[in-house]
Every structure is written in C-alpha cells, then in structure tokens.
Amino acid sequence: MKNSRVKPGTPHRLYLGVDVGGTKIQASLVRESGEILGREKCLTPRQGGPEHIVAAIEKAMNDMLRKGSVTADHLTAIGVAVPGVVDPDNLRVVIAPNMSLTNVALGARLAASFKAPMAVGNDGNFGALGETWLGSARSARSAVYICVGTGIGSGFVHGGKLWRGARESAGEIGHMLMQLGGPQCGCGSHGCFEALASRTAIERELRSGIAAGQTSVLTELAGGDLSVIRSGMIRKALEREDPLVTGVMRQAAEVLGHACVNVRHLLDPEVIVLGGGVIEACSRFVMPIVEDIVSRDPLPGAREGGQVLLSALGDDAVVLGAVAAARRLVHRSPFKKRFAVRPIYRELASVGLGEIAVGRKVYDCDITISVAGKVKKRKAKLVKKLDGAGHTVGSKEVAKVCRGGPEVLFVGAGETSHVQLSDDALQFLTQRSIRYEISPTVKAVDSYNKSKRRKAALFHVTC
C-alpha cells in the first residue's frame, strides 16, 4: 500500500481505527495528527455467527499492521466502532440489529491478539467525534452526525464531548418512530427511521417495485443479481433518471429531511452532518430535497444555526472518531489544546515563472498538496477528463484534494489568475464547511506558509 509504511521506532504515536459496518469493515493506521497512513477494507460476512465477523475484524486489523510494517506493540491505542448499542466500559456489544454481534464481548475477543488500550463504541457516536475533530463540524460547539448506510446511526457531540445517555443508547436516531404501522425494522419495531430511509429499506422498496413488474436499469447494473443493491448502482440509476429509483430515493430523502427537522426541534445543534454510503453516493440528489424541507421548518430559532452539512471525512469519519476515542482513553484527547497535533507542512516558495518549491524539491508543473502535506503533480489529462478544462477546478478534483477534511483550501490561480473554482466546487466546499482562498500563485504561496490551520492546496504555476 503506497505511503502506508512506517519505520519501527517512529516518534509519531500510532493508532488503529476500525469501522465495523453492515457492508464492509475498514481498519486504518492513523497518526496522532489524524493523518491516515493506510486503509484496509474487507466485506462484512453476511453468513455465519459472531466468530466469522470477529475473525474478519482481526484479519483486517492484522493486514493493516502488516502493510504498514508495524506490530501491535507500536500502537498507542485502538478504537473499534460497531453499529449498535455498546457497553464501552466492558467493551461489549449489547445489541447489533444488522449483524451477528449481539451480546458479544468484542473487546475481550480482540484483546487476545492486540494488547494496546482499546475503546469500543457505537459507530454513530464515533462518526460524530470524527466530524467534530477534523470534519464539517470542526468549528461547531454542538453537532449531530447522521450516518445513512446499511442502517442509520447517529451521535451527538457538545463541547467536544459525546452525549451517550443513561443507558448508552443516546443517538439511536435510526430507531426513532417515523411512521405508525410502518415496515418492520431490524430492531423488531415498526416504522423506524431506519426502516424507511436506510440502504436496507431502499433496497427492499426497489426489489418490491421490480417484483411488482416495474422496469429498472438496476437489473442491468446489477447483472441480474439484485441480492445486494450497492449505493453506487443507485447513483448510476439516478443519473439515468430511472423512474423507480428516483421515486424510492425521493421518498427516502424526504424522510431524512423530516428527521433533520426533528433533530433541530429536539436538540437544536449548531450543525447536522450527513454521512454514510448512501449520502456519499447520492448527495447530489438527496441534499436539495433535505435542504428544502429543513428550510421550510415552521418553528424558527432565536438565532442562526441548525445548518445541514455533508461529511467532510466520508468513509474515514468513523475510523477517525474511533481514534479520537482511543486518544481520550490514553488521556490525549484531541479536543484539548495541549494535545492538538497538526500535520507537518513544508515551506513553499515561488522560485520563478512556472516553478514552485516545496521544501528542497522544485516543481515545474501544477501541484496539489493534501491535508497531510503530501505533494502530487496535477495531471492535466485527468483534470480535463474530470472537469472539462484545466483552468476550471471542478468538484471532483476539489474532492480529491480535500480528502481528510482541511479547514481551508488554498488555490494558486497562476500569475494571471486564470484558474477559477466551478459552481459545483464552491458548493462542495460550502456543504462541508471548508474555507477557501483563491489568489495569484505568489500570494497564495505566502498565505499557505503563514496559515496555522489544517490545510490543502492546489497551485497553478504554468502561467
């Protein structure tokens, strides 16, 4: 895995964050700054008992350590996220409605192979921690994170602290009743939010429609096998304006919008952050519907707030939140100033016309710099394929540059300020609370060097 190797004895504290989802398991090796050194993913076993899932978790963790050339002895702490009610004091899964982990002492099972201190918690809670630490809620005092995936999870953070509830079941918004007498949920109740708007619910409605005789491009996209309808297939069907998929997704988006209004009325957080596989794949369709419903909320507040944002961390929100929880476990909370560790950024310099220096290396081409400080050459052919013109930075390229959740994006627009951000790119940044500064490259270099924030950059140097 490129850029994932860490030399033994490294002075950087290392953590392992694990996201156990209904569809996939992701294990990530993470520095204390939040820099992700590598990711290992595998499918979550759908058949068999708890031993199959625990074995898959262990394998993903071991594979990640092996690819990073480290051992468990190099880890400061481990964080593991699970979709369900968790007893974090005893590292036990109380109930997991969508997988075979109910009443499993997960921490004890994993401790046999991994001796580092371990935090086990709910995935929605950890997602909320991740977005508050490094994502779209980084500047908010209070935030609710809603993850729409196989199920629907949620978490509430106020002042950098999770609200877990008296029974460790706060934030189970997926099981909030949204329709009396509605479809049965995996938890056993009927009409839950999760039973109406999760990917599992969406799949159920799509299969039902096709079984009833409605035609859909999904049959083609799935190769005739509709046993699993992935979020990417749904996105492609929406792009082709498939009537069945459009109708089902509109209904799910409306339920999500009303759920956001309920959250505002109950908790009144500064921001609500939407994430998860369904949102990542289908936000262009879903977000306008949600925003319209929230904007029509008839109960106003005394001040501005309650904005709905998209996750800035994507698939990494939960693993980074798991790392935040693991850091707290070893008394190095990322929400305390004395333990706030930022990536190390090299000094930039405009060497001359058409050249830029990063540290000691000089580039004579456009470059991007990630939030972790990694430099890549900007590939003109790829840019034109993604966004149509080299001088217009579109949302797809911005999404690549901003992976990892920078606070600010610096854009060097060249000497004659030819480069501009497309409307989609501006919307991408706004929906994730990422500031941007666009200016002639020489000025942008100076601004980048002076900034003390987590940052990313794109510099146009060729004209």
The pLDDT tens digits of the residues spanning 57-78 come to: 999 999 999 999 999 999 999 9
End-to-end CA distance of the chain: 35
What is the reported pLDDT for 5?
A: 47
The pLDDT tens digits of the residues spanning 229-265 come to: 999 999 999 999 999 999 999 999 999 999 999 999 9
The pLDDT tens digits of the residues spanning 367-421 come to: 999 999 999 998 766 555 545 555 889 999 999 999 999 999 999 998 877 789 9
Say whether 413 sits in a helix, a strand or coil. Answer: strand
Domain of residue 376, CATH code: 3.40.1230.10
Residue 2: pLDDT over 50 = no
Answer yes or no: do 65 and 155 share one domain: no
Report the alpha-carbon angle 338-341-344, nearest 5: 140
- 2 part of a folded domain: no
- 4 part of a folded domain: no
User: What CA–CA distance (Å, rounded) separates 33 from 24?
Assistant: 25
What is the reported pLDDT for 7?
A: 46
Query: For residue 291, what are its two tokens?
Result: 């925003």
13 versus 386: the higher-pLDDT residue is 13
Concatenating the DSSP letter of every residue in 241-267 gives T-HHHHHHHHHHHHHHHHHHHHHHHHH
Mean pLDDT on 294-298: 93
Q: What is the DSSP letter of 198?
A: S
Domain of residue 98, CATH code: 3.30.420.40
- 127 part of a folded domain: no
Answer yes or no: do 329 and 372 share one domain: no
The pLDDT tens digits of the residues spanning 76-105 come to: 999 999 999 999 999 999 999 889 999 999
Answer yes or no: do 148 and 289 share one domain: yes
What is the reported pLDDT for 333?
A: 96
User: What CA–CA distance (Å, rounded) separates 405 from 21?
Assistant: 21
What is the reported pLDDT for 4?
A: 44
**b or e along 272-308 (b: 16 or more beta carbons within 10 Å of the residue's beta carbon)?**
bbbbbbbbbbbbebbbebbeebbeeeeeeeeeeebbb
Nearest to 312 by CA among 125, 128, 131, 129: 131
Answer yes or no: do 253 and 280 share one domain: yes
Burial of 223 (0-12, 13-18, 19+ CB in 10 A): exposed
Answer yes or no: do 208 and 291 share one domain: yes
Task: Give the predicted TM-score (pTM) of the model.
Answer: 0.92
- 9 part of a folded domain: no
What is the reported pLDDT for 388?
A: 53
The pLDDT tens digits of the residues spanning 132-178 come to: 999 999 999 999 999 999 899 999 999 999 999 999 889 899 999 99
| Number of separate domains in the chain | 3
Does residue 387 contact residue 422 with C-beta atoms inside 8 Å? Answer: yes
Query: For residue 11, what are its two tokens?
Result: 């002075």
- 6 part of a folded domain: no
Per cent of the chain over pLDDT 70 is 95
Nearest to 193 by CA among 154, 241, 161: 154
Largest interatomic CA distance in the chain: 69
Answer yes or no: do 326 and 300 share one domain: no
Report the alpha-carbon angle 189-191-192, nearest 5: 75
Answer yes or no: do 422 and 369 share one domain: yes
- 299 part of a folded domain: yes
Q: What is the DSSP letter of 143?
A: E
Nearest to 252 by CA among 125, 152, 153, 127: 152
- 184 part of a folded domain: yes
Answer yes or no: do 264 and 370 share one domain: no
Answer yes or no: do 156 and 70 share one domain: no
User: What CA–CA distance (Å, rounded) separates 98 from 83?
Assistant: 8
* CB neighbours of residue 76 within 10 Å: 18
106 versus 22: the higher-pLDDT residue is 106
Does residue 407 contact residue 435 with C-beta atoms inside 8 Å? Answer: yes
- Whole domain around residue 252: which residue ranges? 136-312
Residue 11: pLDDT over 60 = no
- Find tokens 């082709």 and name the residue: 240
- 129 part of a folded domain: no
The chain-wide mean pLDDT, for the chain, equals 92
- Whether the CA torsion 264, 267, 273, 276 is positive or negative: it is negative
Q: What is the DSSP letter of 189?
A: -
Answer yes or no: do 191 and 209 share one domain: yes
Answer yes or no: do 218 and 231 share one domain: yes
Distance of CA 151 to the CA centre of its chain: 15
Answer yes or no: do 87 and 144 share one domain: no
